[in-house]
Amino acid sequence: MDIEVNHSSSGGDAGPFNDSVDTASVWAESATQPLAIDAPTAATLLGVSTAHFYTLLSGGRIPPGFRLGRRRLWSVSELQRWIDAGAPSADRWAIIVGNCIRAGHRPPARGLPGILKKQR
């Protein structure tokens, strides 16, 4: 998706939300990271191909993400917590997240909660 961007003041707005902007360069130049990412970007962050990412998704191996309009996105922080928890299956991750939310705190930063370790 590398397309030349017009930075002149006479052209239209070529800001970071324009589809013609290379996302990686916007991130490198930006002080903030996106809160949510699409499947190809999530696959890149996880170090797998987009095709393999979709295979993992359809097999229930990764969190399902969420819909925003017609787009399916993944929370960057949730993917990080999922990886930190040992990349459990989507079903187990839903249990972990649900138990943590009911207990009033965030999903674990490292490892599985004690109650789930006993269920193994």
Domain boundaries, the chain: 36-113
Beta bridge partners of 66: 73
* pLDDT score for 7: 42
Provide the 3-class DSSP secondary structure of residue 72.
strand
* pTM as predicted: 0.60
pLDDT digits (tens, 9 = 90+) for 55-112: 999 999 999 999 999 999 999 989 998 998 899 999 998 888 887 777 666 665 554 4
Per-residue pLDDT band at 12 (split at 50, 70, 90): very low
Average pLDDT in the chain: 74
Report how far residue 90's alpha carbon sits from residue 31's, in angstroms, rounded to the nearest whole number. 31
* pLDDT score for 99: 77
pLDDT digits (tens, 9 = 90+) for 40-54: 999 999 999 999 999
Query: Percent helix, strand, coil in the chain (nearest 5)?
Result: 45, 10, 50
Note whether 71 and 97 are within 8 A (CB).
no
